[in-house]
């Protein structure tokens, strides 16, 4: 078993559409590569996220203070962000995001400060191994359980990605209908993909 930490974050071979779902996958799944990896990986994945956000009209920032500034823009008259706790008033806010003008007044959900760090802790059993060779007697047990654990981990990650998607759409609802492509990102200067496996 060989671990490749960004295997799910590589551009597809075809010119597939990039949507808000793609963006949330990269916001969460690429956080470690943007902030805690080799500088080449940080540079590539940082640029990738920047261009995705630019194309979809979402002003995401990894830094909590920068995200707050991007969320509220330059209007100091907007309401203060939600400090009521992780779940806070997200449900109450949803009904207020029915128009672009109302979306400008949606408070920043406090959970966005920590969501990437929390998501990074959702790991498969062997995500921290470059290579794992089970013992002869261990292999049978491993084969019986690892598939289910991996599927459950993938399903949990998808739920977190959908959660972030819906929260981002509170503030940037137009992103739901916007798309771009890997070809377009290349035209904007994304550069050649950097394989994380080369650095481990």
Q: Residues in the chain with pLDDT < 70?
A: 1-15, 74-101, 196-200
> d(Cα 193, Cα 200) in Å, to the nearest integer?
16
Please tell me what DSSP assigns to residue 37. Answer: S
Model pTM? 0.78
**Gap between the Cα atoms of 161 and 155, Å rounded:** 10
Which residue's structure tokens are 């671990």?
A: 3
pLDDT in tens, 16-59: 899 999 999 999 999 999 999 999 999 999 999 999 999 999 99
Q: Assess contact for 171 and 106: CB atoms under 8 A.
A: yes
pLDDT for res 9 = 59
Helices (H), 36-181: 39-56, 64-72, 90-94, 100-103, 115-120, 136-171
User: How high is the pLDDT of residue 87?
Assistant: 38
181: enclosing H helix or E strand: strand 180-181
The pLDDT value given to residue 11: 57
Cα–Cα distances in angstroms (integers) from residue 145 to residues 2, 10, 64, in the given order: 18, 27, 38
State the DSSP string of 3-22.
Answer: --TTGGGSPPSS--EE-HHH
């Amino acid at each position: 078993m060989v671990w490749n930490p960004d295997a799910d974050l590589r551009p597809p071979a075809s010119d597939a559409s990039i949507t808000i779902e793609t963006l949330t996958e990269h916001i969460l799944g690429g956080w470690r590569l943007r902030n805690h990896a080799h500088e080449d990986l940080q540079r590539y994945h940082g640029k990738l996220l920047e261009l995705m956000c630019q194309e979809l009209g979402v002003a995401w920032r990894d830094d909590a203070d920068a995200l707050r500034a991007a969320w509220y823009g330059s209007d100091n008259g907007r309401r203060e962000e939600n400090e009521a706790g992780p779940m806070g008033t997200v449900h109450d806010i949803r009904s207020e995001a029915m128009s672009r003008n109302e979306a400008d007044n949606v408070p920043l959900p406090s959970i966005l400060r920590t969501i990437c760090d929390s998501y990074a802790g959702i790991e498969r059993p062997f995500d921290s191994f470059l290579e794992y060779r089970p013992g002869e007697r261990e292999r049978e047990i491993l084969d019986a359980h690892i598939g289910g654990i991996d599927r459950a981990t993938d399903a949990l990650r998808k739920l977190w990605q959908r959660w972030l998607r819906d929260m981002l759409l509170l503030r940037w609802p137009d992103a739901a209908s916007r798309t771009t492509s890997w070809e377009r990102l290349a035209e904007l200067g994304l550069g050649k993909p950097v394989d994380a496996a080369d650095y481990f």
